[in-house]
Structure formats: C-alpha cells, structure tokens
Structure 1
Amino acid sequence: MKYFILMWFLLIYYSGFTINPDNDLYSNKSISEVLEKQSFLTSFIEEDQLYLNIPNQLIGKSILFVRYDQSQEFKYMQVVWARLNDKILLKIPRIQSSAGNIIPLNDNPSLRENIMAVFPINKEYSNSMGYCVNITNLVLNQGIEWTPGFSETLKPKLSFLEQVKNLHNEVIIRTKRGLVINQSKVVIPVHFSFCALPELMKPRKFDYRMGFFNEEKNSISHGMKNTKANIIRWRIEKRNKNKKISVPIKPITFILSPEIPEKWRPYVKAGIESWLPAFESAGFKDALVVKEVDSLNYWQTYSVNSSIVHWGDYRNVRGFEDAGGGTVLDIIDLRSGEILKADIHLGATLQKLADMYFLRCAPLDKRAHKYPFPDDLMGELIKSLTAHEAGHAFGIMDNNFGEYSYPFEMMNDRNWLKKMGHTPSIMTYARHNNIAQPKDSIPASLLIQKVGPTDVYYIKWAYTSFPNTVSINAELVELERIIRMQDSIPWYRYNNGNYEVVGPGCTNEVVDNDDPIKSAEMALKNLKRVIALIPKVNYGQTDNARVERLYKKTLELWYHHMRHVLSLVGGYDIHYKAISQGGSIYTPINWEQQEAAIGFLVKNAFNPPYWLVNPEFGYKINYSVYPDKILDYQQRILFELLRPQRMKRLEQMEKINGFEGATGRFLQVLQLGLFDELNQDLEVVEARKQEIQNTFIDKMVWVIKQRREHVNADDKINDYTDYSRGLILEQLIFLKESLEEKLKMEIRKKTIGHWKLCLMTLNEAKKK
C-alpha cells in the first residue's frame, strides 16, 4: 500500500504543475533516488489543496518566504521549518547579521523567534526522508504580518489556488487572493515563493558618509553614525582574481519585459549599461547584462533569480496621464546585504517626462517646441530615467550627492558638461540643465541628466573586491582612503536632506551649483521663454488642458528655484566627517550671501515678475483669482523663512565670529523688504503683496503667543525659543510704529484700508 501511494505521488509530480521540465532530476530515477536527490522543497496540488514536501536536510535551515502582489514593495522574510512531535512549525527567527549584531523581530529585542503557522504532518505522503504538509490555509486564508503593523482584510471565499511550480531551489505558488481594498472587494493575483538562501556573501559595512541603503532599507535611521549594518549590493566576483580588471563570474543581469515597446528598448538597455564604466572603475569588465525576450511567464517574473525591468502601469490609463515615477522593488539577504532580486519599474508616463524636459530645456532644444516629442528625444529621457532607477537597483539611495559644489561658471561650458555633466550624479533630483542660455548653444545631448563622476565613485567604493591575500585591516584602510577623497573633491560628498533642508546642498528639482542666486537668475530667464512657448505647444488642441498643466508646472519650478535661494538663509555647507579629520561638518554660508538671498526673495518671490503672474494667455483661461497658486507658493516661502528650525540655525551661527546678531539682522532685513512700501510713495500695494504682509504679521503674532507645551528637548523641534520670540516682538513694535507714522501722513485712499488692517491686527494682538 505504501509503495502504491509513493508511486501515485510521483505520478502527480509528472502531471505538469510541479516539475520543472528543464530539470531532469526526476527522470529515470527510482523512488528512493528521487527522494534522496530532493534537496529543496517541492509542491503539488491535489483536490484544490496545496501540499509541500520538506526534506529532512531543510529542517532548521533558514530560507526565504516571499510574497509578490500589486503593491510598491516585495514582502519577504526569512523562515525556518521545525518539527515538534507530529507537527511541522513555520518559524520566523531573528537574524544574525554579518555586520556583528542581531536584527530584531518586530523591533522587540527579547523576541527570539515567532511562529507563523503550525501544520499537522501528512503521514500518508511523508516518509523517512522528509515530511509533507498542507499549506493551503497559509497562502489563501491566513493574514501574515509581513512587516510590523501590516494587515489586510481577507475574503477567503474569493481566494483560490491557480498553479504551482518547482524550480531549482525555489517553489512558486500562484494564487488569486480576495481582499477588501478601499472598501471594495477585489481579487488580485498574489504569488508566494519559498527560496533557498545563498552562501553568505562577504559584506561591505555601512558608512553614513556614503549614500547606500542598509540591508533593512528605510526601516532604521542611522543619522550621522556608523551603526553596525551592511550596505546592500550585488554579489559580483572576478573570474580572474589576479587581474586589475576582470569579467565577473556571474554578471548582474536584467531582463526587459516584453511589455516595453520595441522602439524604447534600446534606450532602456542603454540606461542600465551607462553604469558599465562605473563598474569598470571597481575592477569589473562587462559587469552588466541586459536581455530582451519575446515572452515572459509567471515563473520567470516572480522568481528570485530574475530581475525584470517593467514598463509600468500608468500609461494610457484615464486619469493617470501625468502620474507615476520610477521605483525599484528588491529582495535582500538580511544576513549580508546581498541583493538577490531587483525589479526596475519605469512608472513615469511619457507626458510627465516630456513636461519635465519642456519646462527646463525647451528654450535650448527646438525638438521640444512641439508635442509629442520626436522619438530620439523621448528615448534619451527614458534612458535617463532608467539610469536613475538602475542606481537604486545597485544599492544607491535617492538623496543629495555633491550638490552646492559644481562651479556655476561651468554650467555653460561644453567641455565640462561633456566630461562632468551639469550635476555630479544621476541619483540627485537636479533634473535637466536649465541654467545654460540659448546663446551658449549647448548641444541637447549635454542638457539631460546622466551618470556622473560621483556615481562612478560610489560604485568603486561599494563594489571593489579585494584578494584573499589582503588583510581585513588593509581593506578597511583602502575603503577609508576612497571615502576621504571627499576632503578634496566636494562633489563626492553625500548628505541626507530628507528631514531638514540645512543648506543649498539639500535641495531638489533645480540644477545644483555653488551659486544658487545666479543659477536662479539664469533659470528665470529661461522660464520667461518657456511661458512664451506654452501657447505654441498647444497649437491644434481643442482645449487648454496642456496650457493649464504646463503653466501650473512652470509655477512649481519657479517655486523650487525660490526655495533653492531660500536655503542659503540660515544655511550651511555640509561635509560629513569624523571630528578627528579637522574642520566642521557644518560651515555656515557667509552672511553676505544670506543677506543677498533675502534681497533676491523680496524682489523675485514676494514681488514676482509680471510675465510670470500675468502671462498673455492668462485672461483667456482664468475667470477668478481663485485658486491663486502663486500666492500659495509665496506664503509657503514665507513660512519656510520663518520656520523655527531656521531660526535655531541662525541662533547657532551667532556663536561664530562674524555672525553676531544674525537672527535679529535676518528678521530686520526680511521685514524691511516685505514692507518696503512704507518708505515709498506708492499709490497702491499690490493685492498679493497685501496678503503676504498680513500673513507675515499673523505668523509673527502667532509665534509670540505660542504656548509653552514641551519640556523634553526632542519635542521642541517646532517650538520657537524665547530668544527668537523676543527679537520678533522687537520687530513688530518697530513695524507698529512705522504704520502709525505712515497713517499720520497724507496717503491715498486705495492704501489706507490695508495699512489700517495691518495696524488693527497688531493692536488686537497687544490687547490679548
């Protein structure tokens, strides 16, 4: 009877849903040989039930359990099968990192392991060489906490198994899962897989001065310290270890999804391959392989051994024409930081890519004067997008790399742009070059953001391999030498500007160089040209949607340039370093530049140019001052100028020679600029300027009246210090006196109401 059951079980294997046709492990073998050869899990479906065979040698060994769904991340964890009497347990252990510490479970240091599921051993299909369990409930009905706090509302009656596949060291399960999403019942494809973990890769230790993800990606924040962790990177090893440059044993390989239109595939391929010189600097020739395929099945797509480049879901979907952005979904071996799989999603729509280029480069590239753009231009934009996302696939973060370091005067120098680019890294959000002017005649190929010298530098640090003859000490010395190149080459420096824009090196969306004011001046000249081009690219359209969209985005870009200049005020130049290196991490921007920045904002942000606020096409598409996006941005700039974080940075600067009284001087210069009409004989204060002035008074009064609610230092991030509040009150007293003096003078009726309203707000604040 037992022999019959085993024979029947093998027939199920041969039926097609469990055996990889390319794997001859099972052909022409006896039953005992098959069971002895089974080194990893295998599975089969019988009567809508999913069974998993677990060989003895896998008990107690860590493997990967993965879920692939429609979200913007892969969900995975390391699990262990264990036997307890007549049951099999699926455990989640905490992970011993090769960095030298333990990655805790659910941020709980005392939790050594957790039990995800308990399965009765199916004695009918089990034998002395392994165990069989029914895992149907696990993949269809059980809520699994993939990450702390993760949950979903299941609809088990809508869930069912579709197919399973046994691959080498991997089992993939295809299901349809019933869920409640946005209060609606939906059925989505969800794939689960169990995968073998590779031998432990030699890690590269995390260093906060280098912009690489750690193995837990964004789940922990290291700040400015080298917490024990590993960076994420691919396992890439030289075929000839004695050569300075060698082909790898196994190159990093990406497969282009067939959904990518054929005409764009060469550009996607070129975007990934633009990193080849960077890997060559680390000692690897032909480190990257990009494959095109005519078809791609589920098992290839959802295998941990395949990294796929996807085209994205937003294109040609109504309501999402301007949506999306690229991203990378990856699977990491948490023990070492090894990247096992990295899928690139090129989510940005063609319209979004085209608009971004039009706003910045249309005055410099005639190809952008007509929508849709020609294929060669769109292809270059797709190449740039792909190169950026490929950087993430290699482990590099989004952030600020070498910003506020390139010389401004080189932004229109052809030789510099050809060699260095207009931004040192493809991983910044500098976008395309809108600083060059038409008279510079910069070739269009030099306007688009590309892989730069800083990217080469980071790949060299992360991927350079060392022969076994090199000691760990010598390896660390060499890696530190590479990092210390930042001392003399400022565009190699990294800083994390996600939490606070500490200075001009932390800004996004604008071309970064060492003179934000001149940069903004050049950008404004091109924005004026863009405004003039907007009606022309709408030619032939039966509505004004393109005009409205591009004008709205032009205002947004104008806002980003104002923020870039604003970052100088209370701003620092940043260079991450150890205290033993000498010099400071934070060097304040000189006061002359800060004061010049305030003057620039008064002139260009709070008194914006006529061509921006009143374009010729404006009266054709607007019927009300609502919604006023310009005022929106102006008020944001004002609030950002008066943020408590900025005030505290200015207070800190006052401890440095040459910055005495910086906070008071800042408030004084800003207030005088905002209320410059008090010293001029103007017939009227422009409507938006009136709102800005009243917004300033409201904000200053609010700061003075802020209640003292926090004692804990860490809770005071949004609290103003009493020192700043005193200086603010001093300025408001001066403003009140100036208003009263103004009202004593003979002024025109168009202005008197506004000034009295300002004074009334101040007087009411005094009463309260």
Structure 2
Amino acid sequence: MKHIITTCLFLIYTTGFCYPTNTSLQGNKTTVQNSDLVPFITSLIEGNQLYLEIPRRILNQPIIFVRYDNKYDHKYMQVIWSKLEDKILLKVPSITSTAGIILPIKPKLILSDNILAIFPIEKAKSEGDKYRINITSLLLEQNIPWSQGFSETAVPQISMVLDSANMDKEVVIKIRKGVLMDQAKISLPMYFSFCALGEPMKARPYDFRMGFFNEKLLDIPYGVENRRANIMRWRLEKDDEDQAISRPKNPITFVMSPDIPKKWRPYVKAGIEEWLPAFEEAGFRDALVVKEVDSLSEWQAHSINTSVIYWGDSLRLRGSEFGVFGGTVGTIVDERTGEILKGDIYMAISREEYSERYFVKSAPLDIRAQKFPFPDDLLGELYQTMVAHEAGHVFGLMDANFGKFSYPIDLISNVDWVNTMGHTPSVMNYTRSNNIAQPEDSIPPSLLIQKVGPMDHYNIRWAYTQFPAGTSPKEERAALELIIRQQDSIPWYRYDYGGHESIGPARMNEVIVTRNPVKSTEMALKNLKRVVELIPEVCNDQKDNARLERLYAKTLEVWFDQMMYVGSLIGGYDIHYKSINQTGNMYVPIPSETQDDALDFLFMNAFNLPEWLIRPEFYKKIKYSTFPDKLLEYQQRLLFELLEAKRTKRFEYLESLEGYEGALPMYLTKLQYGLFNDLESLHSSVKPRNQELQMTYIEKLISMVQQERETITAARKAFAYSDYTKGYIMEQLMILKDRIQNGLDNKKVNASLGHWHLCLEKLNTI
C-alpha cells in the first residue's frame, strides 16, 4: 500500500540484544528496579551534563548506538568503546557480516574503524574498572553522521539533557536538541540509547528470487543479482527442536500503544495474528504475541527490547483529515546477521481518507461503504489489512509485486477461490480492495479486503524454517533451493522487485493484477461508472462540495491506474526470476496479439473518453472552467508513457525474437493512426481534448528526434532514444505531415481547419 513515505519506505537497521526492566520516575531522576545486573554502561546527570561510566569489560565489545527523534527512521550505528592512554574513544568499526563480506564504514573505504568522538577520562570520579566520561557535547552539539548524506545544524543554546534510565545491558537518554529546520530554530525531543550486542544468530543468505530486505537496505542494489548478504529476519528458535511444530523460545512480541483507541485494538491485533498460520508452516506455533497495555513508559517505548504499534500523531493535526494514507515501520537490525530486534509499526492514516479510497474501489460491492461515515466494523477491517501489511515489513518482506499476473480472471469472482486464495496472492502487494468482481457475483464484503495470502505463507516458510541439528550447509542450501523452485510450477509464488521500469503487468500497482489485464480493466470500469453514480448520494449531507471533488479526483486516479495497467502489456513481458541453471527465460514477451488488443483498448477507453467520466451530471453544478483538467493530464501522461525511451528499447529488443519482427515500426504506425483517426473523416470536427492530445503527440515526437547525444556511456542512456528509433519516429512525422497537407491541398478538410494548420506549422519546424 502507498505509504506516507510513498514510496520511500523508512527501514532502519541497527542491532542489539538487551532485556527489559521496570523503571520509575522520582522527581527529575529515573531509577531502575533491577537486580543482579551484569555491569554495563551507566548514566548520571549533574546539572546539564551527562556522564557515562564505561566498565573495562565492555571495551572493544560491539555496542549499538541509536537515535529516536521525530522521524520514523530510528538512526543507528554499531560502535565500540576503547581506551587510549587517559582517553576513551568512541569508534565506528567496519562490520564483518556472517555472509562473508565486510560492510565498510563508507562505500569503498578500506578502514577498520573511524573515530566518532574522544572523551577525557574524569579520573577523580572514576572508580575501579569504570571510566567516567562526559558525553554532553556529543549529543547536544555534534553533527553525528548517522547515514550517508545525513546532516543537521545543531543549536546548542536551546539544547539540554533531560533524563536517563539505566537498564540491563542498555542505557537510554532523553534530551531536547536544538536544530535548524527550514531556517527556524526548533528544539526537538530525542532519545539516544547504547545497547550491548549478543552472539550473532544463524543467518539466512539473501536470494534475489525472494522478496526480502537484506541486512543493510541501501548497501546493495536490489534486482537480479545475488550479492553476499543476509536477509532481515527475527531470531526464531524452536523450544523443542524434535517437534515439527514448536513454540519459539522467544516469540516476536508487539505492544499496542495505549493511544490506540480501544475499539480499534482487536483489529490491530488481528492484523498481526493474520500471520500466525504462515509461521506455523515454518514450524512455529504461537510465534507472535500482541500485548495490550494501559500505559507505556517512555523508556520502554525507546528500548530496543520493545516493538510498539503506534497510532499516528499526525492524524490530530489540522489538514491531516485527508491525504494521510498508509503506514510505515522502523526496524532495528543486527547488520552482522540480519537479525531484527525491534520493529515499530506506525499507523498514520485518517479515517476519512481510508474511507474515501475504499469507496471509489469497492462501494458498488459493499453496501456498508455506500454511506459516510463508514461503520466501525468496516473501518476496523481496513485498519487490520494496513497493520497486516506493515507487519510483513517488520518480518523482513519488501513491498509489491508478489505473485502478480498469475491469478486467472475467472476465479477472482469465485467465492471459494477468493475465500482460500484472496484476490491477490500477498498482503504486501499494492492491490487494495477488490474492484473487478461484479455485484451479481455476490462476493461477501469481508472477502473484498486484502488479507495475508498464499505467497506470504510461502515467503515466511522459506525465511524462517529451522533445519534440524546436524543439517549440513549443503543440505540446507538444497532444501531452500527446493522451496524456491516451487515458483516453476506455482506462478503466484514468483517475486519481482520492480525497480524503475514497468516492463509488464507484474510490476503494476493499485490494480487487481490478473492474467487478463484488458478484461480486468473492463470489469473495473463498470464498477467505476457505478461509483460515479453513487457520489452525489454520499455527498448530499455536506455543506460544501469538498467531499464530492475529492471522490471524483480519486475516481480519476483509479481510472488512470487501470489505463497504465493495460498499457503495461505493450512492449511488456511476463517475469519469472531464475538462476542461469534453470530452464527457460526470465522475461517472456507478451504475445503480439495481446499487445495489439491492449492498444485498441486504450484508443477506445483512454483517448476517447465516455461522457460519464468527463462530465458527470453532478460536476456541471460546480464547474465554471475547463481548468484544471486532471483527466487531460492523465491522458497526456499515458501518452508519454507509451512513447518513453525504455519502451522503445524493449520493442527494439523484441524485433530480434521470432514472431516479433518489425515490432517497433508497426507499433509506432498503429499508435499514430489511432491518435489521428480524425484524418479519415476530415469533414468532422476534432474534439478539443483530442486536439490537445494530437498536438502533445507531435511535440513529443519532435523532441524525441531532436534529442541531443549527451553521453555514450551505456549505463546513463536509459532516457536516450536510439538513432534506430529516431529514424522511425522521423518517418512517422513525415507520414503525418503528408496526410495533413494532402487533406488541406485537396480541400477535404473543412472542419477544425485551424487545428490542422497549427499541426502542420508545428511539423514544418523539423
């Protein structure tokens, strides 16, 4: 689902191995109720100065240094404390991954460690094997390089240390730090922690054919390459290794923030527990625990031991009633192995926004959605699916493109199929609710909403299955490969990273992806027309037209997503990630007849629009101008997509395959003919919208031909048109010029005369 960060998903990677403790506040000092502690770092505050006592036994031992601020991405780094003469050094080491690779301090920098800070030992106050240091300036004044490119300007004058808590193998510090934000001085509450790392867990190697994050998200490019890396996953170990299904020694535990309204808590819990059967398939019973608490201390919330489900604060801000859609997560991961130790979920979606998005998708199929506000049971189900999606991220799974372009369209309307398989194979897909079933199919409303699906079970089984003691690495690799090879016979087990190129239907989002995109879209458009008819009724009680305009705008957005989905067939491929020793190709071209059908569909439905979409009855009451015309923008964006360089390059490649000879010129000819079919009936006027599309097309082709050669570096030519394509584009411009000129010369054109002269004038510039 789209996140507040849309697409930037904030996933944070740090490490730690600590134990929770009970804390209480006494005045301005935090005390910890904990006995028999193994000596770890302790903190104390004197005045506005923060001191740490560093035991000798933890010197040169791996520690995690974490920052929690007003962002969702808990910043982190692995550090070590060391002693040099009368100073204590805080160092950032390079990390040796169990995948057999070193994670450098900075890319391509060969350096065993870097000094982050140097602290004089407070000799007068150091006792025995403990060294006291003052770290106030590190937290309040220093610009700590949390990640590549991170920078902030500190404002020490409005910074102060507030409190700290000493816990078993963890110390948490609370401050207010002044920073410069948009040229304003802002004092932000922040928490920092130092936490000890335990023994590395047994890792699972990264495989590009599965949809898991690696231990350091931005360190390697995702795609069709297996670099040395470990996937992100929790340390789940069977309590009874002799049992096929056993409870884990330490289940994955979430705490629901007390600010989650009580009426939504059962749905939040259910969103997590949807994953329980998937973990059972991996051999773990009761692998997930969700706790409801009446209070949650700031120290517990900012401990590496507590994974919290938050209710978004942004929902209380003015202007957040609409447009806030989705959630995000913050995970803390041991980069040595990929072990996830903390996974926070942030629910940040407004009731109104979620309701309206569901309305334009599924209101014709769900009577509960035909009146605002939605009943609590429907909204609760929507919250549940959002939590289930975010939980997938916390378990290590990536977004989107899980098992798409695999379900037969006829089965999406089959109640038994949908009840078992869902309308999409994974809750991680950006598929939303079912909008292609028809009212007469009588799909129960509860089955319209996304759920944890068969591919989610498959992924968890691959990532979390624990192999019996004595299993050799070779045997383990073979067993994991057997699971992956199930993709050969079960297409909805296939994963596709996606990247930045929509090379086929499996990479499309916001639509129900079936094996028949044209038919799917035809069915979706029927429901979209029903939605437009419902809009006035659900807005009758409003004192303004804001809801009506929002619903219409969201309807147009759904329409555009569907058109892009059909367009993905053109020059597109069916995708199945494979290693070189697997039979068959990774990219199988969409049949040429299917591509032709898709282009015909776009001519009929995208470039010649029905009146119910352009000018619904209700819109006449509130419009006074053609400005702004969002629908025209969508049409132009679709046209640009059909002409993008990446698509023409795919057509160039297709021409080398049997059955696709001459694919590029045939495609360009058909596209131009369809856009200018008005030239076949020159006595008829060209609709204003079509005039703008035709001129947009001409200007785009001219810019393609006139594109300068900026580089010869292959990797930088993604948006560069080849000379081969330019030649065919020039040919199309010449043909179009001749057709228009002949029509004018022979006086066959007596309608939209000015438009055709403008087109000709533009064509004469090249």
Specify the TM-score bucket, using the shorter chain as the normaliser: over 0.9
Greater mean deviation of Cα atoms: 255-264 or 108-117: 108-117
State the partner residue of 1:386: 387
State the partner residue of 2:619: 618
Of the candidates 22, 33, 42, which is equivalent to residue 22 of structure 1?
Answer: 33
State the partner residue of 2:599: 598
> Once the 2 structures are TM-superposed, how far is the Cα of residue 730 of structure 1 from its aligned partner?
1.2
List gaps (5 residues or longer) in structure 2.
Answer: 1-23
In 2, the alpha carbon distance for the partners of 1:391 and 1:278 equals 11
Once the two structures are superposed, the pairs formed by residues 737-756 of structure 1 within 5 Å of their partners are: 737-747=738-748, 749-756=750-757
In 2, the alpha carbon distance for the partners of 1:22 and 1:526 equals 60
State the partner residue of 1:248: 248
> Once the 2 structures are TM-superposed, how far is the Cα of residue 723 of structure 1 from its aligned partner?
0.8
Once the two structures are superposed, the pairs formed by residues 302-321 of structure 1 within 5 Å of their partners are: 302-321=302-321
Q: Is the 8 A contact 2:257 2:311 kept in 1?
A: yes
Alignment deviations for residues 629-680 of structure 1 (CA, whole Å, 9 cap, x no partner)? 0110001000000000000001101111000000001001101100111112
Paired residue type of 1:634: Q
Once the two structures are superposed, the pairs formed by residues 342-491 of structure 1 within 5 Å of their partners are: 342-491=343-492
In 1, the alpha carbon distance for the partners of 2:285 and 2:162 equals 42
Alignment deviations for residues 556-586 of structure 1 (CA, whole Å, 9 cap, x no partner)? 1100000000000010000000121111010
State the partner residue of 2:100: 100
Q: Is the 8 A contact 1:20 1:167 kept in 2?
A: no
Paired residue type of 1:528: K
In 1, the alpha carbon distance for the partners of 2:670 and 2:26 equals 81
**2:309 counterpart SS class:** strand
In 2, the alpha carbon distance for the partners of 1:659 and 1:677 equals 29
State the partner residue of 2:19: none
Change in CA separation of 1:69 and 1:19 when aligned onto 2, cut-off 3 Å = closer
Once the two structures are superposed, the pairs formed by residues 56-71 of structure 1 within 5 Å of their partners are: 56-71=56-71
State the partner residue of 1:721: 722
State the partner residue of 2:124: 124
In 2, the alpha carbon distance for the partners of 1:207 and 1:416 equals 30
Paired residue type of 1:152: E
**2:485 counterpart SS class:** helix
Q: Is the 8 A contact 2:66 2:192 kept in 1?
A: yes
> Once the 2 structures are TM-superposed, how far is the Cα of residue 16 of structure 1 from its aligned partner?
7.8
Once the two structures are superposed, the pairs formed by residues 644-683 of structure 1 within 5 Å of their partners are: 644-683=645-684
In 2, the alpha carbon distance for the partners of 1:329 and 1:63 equals 19
> Once the 2 structures are TM-superposed, how far is the Cα of residue 218 of structure 1 from its aligned partner?
3.1
Q: Is 1:630 matched with 2:641? A: no
In 1, the alpha carbon distance for the partners of 2:630 and 2:137 equals 53
Please report the TM-score for the alignment, with normalisation by the length of structure 1: 0.95
Paired residue type of 1:23: N
**1:581 counterpart SS class:** coil
Paired residue type of 2:456: D
In 1, the alpha carbon distance for the partners of 2:27 and 2:107 equals 43
**1:185 counterpart SS class:** strand
Q: Is 1:559 matched with 2:560? A: yes
In 2, the alpha carbon distance for the partners of 1:324 and 1:414 equals 29
Q: Is 1:276 matched with 2:276? A: yes
In 1, the alpha carbon distance for the partners of 2:30 and 2:265 equals 33
**1:290 counterpart SS class:** strand
**1:345 counterpart SS class:** strand
Change in CA separation of 1:371 and 1:57 when aligned onto 2, cut-off 3 Å = same
In 1, the alpha carbon distance for the partners of 2:168 and 2:540 equals 57
> Once the 2 structures are TM-superposed, how far is the Cα of residue 439 of structure 1 from its aligned partner?
1.0
State the partner residue of 2:144: 144
> Once the 2 structures are TM-superposed, how far is the Cα of residue 749 of structure 1 from its aligned partner?
4.6
> Once the 2 structures are TM-superposed, how far is the Cα of residue 747 of structure 1 from its aligned partner?
4.8
Q: Is the 8 A contact 1:562 1:605 kept in 2?
A: yes
State the partner residue of 2:212: 212
Paired residue type of 1:22: Q
Name the structure, 1 or 2, with higher relative contact order (CA <8 Å, separation 6+). Answer: 2
> Once the 2 structures are TM-superposed, how far is the Cα of residue 737 of structure 1 from its aligned partner?
1.5
Paired residue type of 2:287: A
> Once the 2 structures are TM-superposed, how far is the Cα of residue 744 of structure 1 from its aligned partner?
3.3
State the partner residue of 2:72: 72
Please report the TM-score for the alignment, with normalisation by the length of structure 2: 0.95
> Once the 2 structures are TM-superposed, how far is the Cα of residue 498 of structure 1 from its aligned partner?
2.8
In 2, the alpha carbon distance for the partners of 1:396 and 1:16 equals 43
In 2, the alpha carbon distance for the partners of 1:129 and 1:603 equals 80
> Once the 2 structures are TM-superposed, how far is the Cα of residue 742 of structure 1 from its aligned partner?
1.9
Q: Is the 8 A contact 2:152 2:180 kept in 1?
A: yes
**2:668 counterpart SS class:** helix
Q: Is 1:761 matched with 2:762? A: yes
State the partner residue of 2:16: none
> Once the 2 structures are TM-superposed, how far is the Cα of residue 745 of structure 1 from its aligned partner?
4.2
Alignment deviations for residues 608-637 of structure 1 (CA, whole Å, 9 cap, x no partner)? 111000111111121111111011000100
State the partner residue of 1:111: 111
Runs of 4+ in 1 over 3 A off after TM superposition: 13-21, 744-750
**1:460 counterpart SS class:** helix
Paired residue type of 2:203: P
Paired residue type of 1:706: Q
In 2, the alpha carbon distance for the partners of 1:302 and 1:749 equals 74
State the partner residue of 2:226: 226
State the partner residue of 1:7: none
**1:683 counterpart SS class:** coil
State the partner residue of 2:265: 265
> Once the 2 structures are TM-superposed, how far is the Cα of residue 682 of structure 1 from its aligned partner?
5.0
> Once the 2 structures are TM-superposed, how far is the Cα of residue 318 of structure 1 from its aligned partner?
1.1
Q: Is the 8 A contact 2:159 2:175 kept in 1?
A: yes
Alignment deviations for residues 397-442 of structure 1 (CA, whole Å, 9 cap, x no partner)? 0021111110011110000000000000000101110000111111
Q: Is the 8 A contact 1:18 1:43 kept in 2?
A: no
Q: Is the 8 A contact 1:19 1:167 kept in 2?
A: no
In 2, the alpha carbon distance for the partners of 1:764 and 1:466 equals 70
**1:719 counterpart SS class:** coil
Q: Is the 8 A contact 1:314 1:321 kept in 2?
A: no
Greater mean deviation of Cα atoms: 464-473 or 565-574: 464-473
> Once the 2 structures are TM-superposed, how far is the Cα of residue 748 of structure 1 from its aligned partner?
6.2
Q: Is the 8 A contact 2:38 2:168 kept in 1?
A: no
> Once the 2 structures are TM-superposed, how far is the Cα of residue 184 of structure 1 from its aligned partner?
1.2
Q: Is the 8 A contact 2:682 2:751 kept in 1?
A: no
In 1, the alpha carbon distance for the partners of 2:267 and 2:260 equals 11
Q: Is the 8 A contact 2:30 2:164 kept in 1?
A: no
Paired residue type of 2:71: S
Change in CA separation of 1:490 and 1:14 when aligned onto 2, cut-off 3 Å = closer
State the partner residue of 1:492: 493
Q: Is the 8 A contact 1:18 1:42 kept in 2?
A: no
State the partner residue of 1:692: 693
> Once the 2 structures are TM-superposed, how far is the Cα of residue 357 of structure 1 from its aligned partner?
0.8
In 1, the alpha carbon distance for the partners of 2:187 and 2:753 equals 65
Change in CA separation of 1:688 and 1:468 when aligned onto 2, cut-off 3 Å = same
List gaps (5 residues or longer) in structure 1.
Answer: 1-12, 26-36
> Once the 2 structures are TM-superposed, how far is the Cα of residue 317 of structure 1 from its aligned partner?
1.7
State the partner residue of 1:184: 184
Alignment deviations for residues 425-481 of structure 1 (CA, whole Å, 9 cap, x no partner)? 000101110000111111101100110000000000000001221111111100000
In 2, the alpha carbon distance for the partners of 1:700 and 1:461 equals 48
> Once the 2 structures are TM-superposed, how far is the Cα of residue 324 of structure 1 from its aligned partner?
3.9
> Once the 2 structures are TM-superposed, how far is the Cα of residue 14 of structure 1 from its aligned partner?
12
Q: Is the 8 A contact 2:79 2:90 kept in 1?
A: yes
Q: Is the 8 A contact 1:17 1:165 kept in 2?
A: no
Change in CA separation of 1:188 and 1:311 when aligned onto 2, cut-off 3 Å = same
Q: Is the 8 A contact 2:505 2:569 kept in 1?
A: yes
Greater mean deviation of Cα atoms: 250-259 or 45-54: 45-54
Paired residue type of 1:252: I
Q: Is the 8 A contact 1:160 1:177 kept in 2?
A: yes
Paired residue type of 2:230: N
In 2, the alpha carbon distance for the partners of 1:16 and 1:623 equals 63
Once the two structures are superposed, the pairs formed by residues 77-88 of structure 1 within 5 Å of their partners are: 77-88=77-88
> Once the 2 structures are TM-superposed, how far is the Cα of residue 152 of structure 1 from its aligned partner?
0.6
Change in CA separation of 1:629 and 1:606 when aligned onto 2, cut-off 3 Å = same
In 1, the alpha carbon distance for the partners of 2:29 and 2:91 equals 25
Alignment deviations for residues 136-177 of structure 1 (CA, whole Å, 9 cap, x no partner)? 111111110100111111110100111100011100000011
State the partner residue of 2:572: 571
Paired residue type of 2:297: N
State the partner residue of 1:6: none
